[in-house]
């Protein structure tokens, strides 16, 4: 009888060498492919039928497992880096970033502490410092890469509340009966989610007619709610329309109120790299914290959000976890990323962005972002030119929202399903003020004007 071999999965052997070769060959083909289809979801029963049982006592072997992934499971996932993936906010990682994501896993790196991952943390911090400089934040600003914008916003707001509590404690004052965070009425859903998790009240403030949160409206909310407000959140490029709030006006309203100013720039703040729209973001340099997602418009693979504090010590005070086995880390002044957000175990998820920036240079990023903005404005003009179409708003960044005159929600739904079924595009309907519309989120530099006009042609 063959004895079990507990080292089989980890031993350097012919079997494992072949597994590595299989995976690397597939990865190479996928990264360098220029004709990967959009693909589409499949019903659970169909996937179960085609894949069959895959987790078994004996295992399927690498050939069979990879074949199931390549021919059954992967085609049931929409290709988010496809040039005609135009829904939600696409991902368009550079070839260097995608390739280096393999290196991050292959290197067995831990990104939670300086002690264990100093080299990785140094590289990530170089990217964070570069971003902070681009945003006009002072020397010493820094933070951490977290999973995504939802966790970034939550972590920033937790730090904001802790700072408010610290000020109240120093003055010997009782806390308000209910802490509050002021935000725009169209702020990302993650702000309401963070408020719910923190058991605080989100106070929505109306935007102006153009969808912009203005400083005077924030000032009125601060006057009404007083010391119960611990933070104000503005948006640096909304997900639905790509609208940038009046950041300078909001910063002015916040000044003098002992209130934390946070900017949710998950999608749009990267646009500051383009000279075309940089002026729209005046005021970001006054923020106490900002977020921006490299897996959106900074061409990194999922998942990465850069959370940057004006004063990183505030983040550390709020988030450092204390336990006996962590004493060797928490008693040190070294920069441990786990101290700056609501997490502990951590992948060095900022490294693909670092490698891509180090490889191509920042100028290439500026050019790529600028090209998307120019394309958005070009297709917006085309929509205005076409009879039977209405442009809902002029794009500020690279999100274009429009209506097909006379269409119902059912019309948009059927059109969207047909586009995906025909493998022409992935464009899901959106809505605003109770009206259904269509929306192009243009971030991928390989998306062309011809791609977009061909989609518009299908609405004729």
**In order of start, what are the domains of the chain with their CATH numbers?**
1-33+41-77 (no CATH), 101-360 (3.40.640.10), 362-457 (3.90.1150.170)
Distance CA 366, CA 275 (A): 8
Burial label for 181, CB within 10 Å (0-12, 13-18, 19+), is: buried
Order across the sheet with 260-264: list the strands.
142-146, 305-309, 289-292, 260-264, 229-235, 180-184, 201-205
> pLDDT grade, residue 433 (50/70/90)?
confident
pTM of the model as a whole: 0.95
Q: Tens digits of per-residue pLDDT, 23-46?
A: 999 999 999 998 899 999 999 999
Q: Tens digits of per-residue pLDDT, 289-325?
A: 999 999 999 999 999 999 999 999 999 999 999 876 6
- According to DSSP, the β-strands at 142-146 and 229-235 are unpaired
- The per-residue pLDDT for 329 is 73
**In the predicted model, what is the mean pLDDT of residues 53-79?**
96
pLDDT at 1 over 70: no
Q: Is 436 helix (H, G, I), strand (E, B) or coil?
A: strand
Distance CA 259, CA 218 (A): 12
pLDDT at 3 over 80: no
- The DSSP symbol for 85 reads B
In the structure encoding, which two tokens stand for residue 62, read together?
């690498």
Q: Tens digits of per-residue pLDDT, 238-251?
A: 989 999 999 999 99
CA separation, residue 251 to residues 28, 158, 191, 213, 306 (Å):
47, 20, 18, 11, 21
Evaluate whether 303 touches 147 at the Cβ level (below 8 Å).
yes
Evaluate whether 246 touches 275 at the Cβ level (below 8 Å).
no
Produce one character per residue of 402-413: b if its CB has 16 or more CB atoms within 10 Å, e if not: bbbeebeeeebe
Q: Give Cα 31 to chain centroid, integer Å.
A: 21
Q: Is 159 helix (H, G, I), strand (E, B) or coil?
A: helix
> pLDDT grade, residue 332 (50/70/90)?
confident
- The per-residue pLDDT for 345 is 94
What residues pair up with 85 in beta bridges, in sequence order?
426
E-assigned strand segments in 332-457: 389-391, 399-404, 430-432, 435-441
**In the predicted model, what is the mean pLDDT of residues 168-179?**
96
- The per-residue pLDDT for 187 is 93
């Amino acid at each position: 009888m063959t004895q079990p071999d507990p080292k089989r999965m980890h031993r350097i052997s012919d079997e494992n060498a072949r597994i590595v070769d299989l995976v690397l060959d597939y990865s190479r083909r996928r990264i360098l492919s220029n004709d990967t289809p959009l693909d589409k979801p499949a019903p659970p029963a169909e996937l179960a039928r085609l894949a069959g049982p895959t987790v078994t006592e004996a295992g399927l072997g690498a050939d069979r497992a990879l074949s199931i992934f390549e021919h059954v499971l992967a085609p049931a996932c929409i290709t988010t880096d496809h040039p005609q993936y135009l829904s939600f906010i696409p991902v368009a990682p550079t070839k260097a970033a995608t390739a280096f994501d393999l290196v991050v896993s292959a290197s067995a790196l831990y990104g939670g502490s300086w002690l264990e991952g100093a080299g990785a943390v140094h590289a990530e911090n170089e990217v964070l410092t570069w971003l902070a400089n681009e945003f006009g934040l002072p020397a010493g600003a820094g933070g951490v890469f977290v999973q995504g914008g939802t966790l970034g916003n939550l972590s920033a707001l937790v730090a904001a509340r802790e700072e408010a509590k610290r000020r109240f404690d120093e003055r010997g004052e009782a806390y308000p009966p209910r802490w509050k965070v002021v935000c725009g009425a169209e702020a990302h859903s993650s702000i309401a989610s963070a408020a719910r998790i923190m058991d605080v009240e989100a106070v929505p403030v109306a935007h102006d007619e153009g969808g912009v949160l203005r400083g005077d409206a924030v000032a009125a909310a601060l006057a009404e709610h007083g010391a119960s407000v611990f933070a104000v959140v503005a948006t640096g490029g909304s997900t639905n329309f790509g609208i940038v709030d009046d950041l300078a006006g909001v910063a002015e309203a916040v000044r003098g109120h002992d209130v934390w100013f946070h900017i949710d720039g998950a999608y749009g703040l990267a646009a500051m790299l383009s000279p075309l729209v940089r002026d729209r973001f005046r005021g970001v340099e006054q923020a106490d914290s900002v977020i921006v997602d490299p897996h959106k418009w900074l061409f990194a693979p999922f998942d990465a959000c850069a959370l940057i504090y004006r004063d990183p010590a505030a983040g550390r005070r709020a988030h450092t976890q204390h336990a006996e086995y962590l004493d060797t880390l928490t008693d040190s002044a070294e920069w441990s990323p786990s101290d700056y957000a609501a997490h502990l175990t951590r992948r060095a998820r900022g490294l693909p962005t670092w490698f891509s920036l180090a490889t191509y240079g920042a100028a290439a990023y500026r050019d790529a972002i600028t090209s998307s903005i120019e394309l958005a404005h070009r297709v917006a003009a085309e929509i205005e030119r076409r009879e039977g179409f209405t442009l809902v708003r002029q794009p500020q960044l690279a999100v274009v929202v429009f209506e097909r005159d006379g269409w119902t929600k059912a019309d948009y739904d059927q059109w969207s399903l047909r586009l995906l079924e025909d493998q022409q595009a992935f464009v899901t309907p959106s809505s605003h003020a109770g009206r259904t519309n269509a929306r192009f989120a243009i971030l991928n530099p390989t998306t062309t004007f011809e791609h977009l006009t061909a989609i518009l042609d299908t609405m004729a």
